[in-house]
Amino acid sequence: MFDSAATVIGFSKSLHHDWFDDQDAEARQLLDTMHATHLAWISDKSNSSKKSAYTRAHGAAQRRLREVKNEWWAKKAQELQQAADRRDMKAFCHSLRAVYGLRDSGSTLS
């Protein structure tokens, strides 16, 4: 039943432009390193060096992903502010709708 529904209806594609999408390669590498060190530590729980390697990888991944997310939001805020300063409401609304993942129907407010 699931296969039939998936074939006929398909899956909805998210229109939401996320900060993670722009940095997928870098984020994927950080997360892969973190997962590999975690699996190594889980397989040998008594090894303190594996635990500290996982802790370092986890902290580095969290720190860098937080930086990337903050950079992305700062860039989006700057784009929105520039559109507002130019009084370009079409660009402002388009950018705002893209951030919220709303479909841009071409009309202003619906």
pLDDT in tens, 13-32: 555 556 666 567 888 888 99
Task: Count Cβ atoms below 10 Å from residue 76 Cβ, excluding itself.
Answer: 16
Q: Is 73 helix (H, G, I), strand (E, B) or coil?
A: helix
Helix locations, 1-110, DSSP H: 2-8, 19-22, 24-43, 48-85, 89-100
Supply the pTM of this predicted model: 0.63
- Tell me the C-alpha distance between 99 and 22, whole Å: 13
Tell me the pLDDT band of 108, cut-offs 50, 70 and 90: very low
pLDDT for res 107: 47
pLDDT for res 22: 57
pLDDT in tens, 93-102: 888 887 887 7
Every domain of the chain and the residues it spans: 24-100
pLDDT for res 4: 77
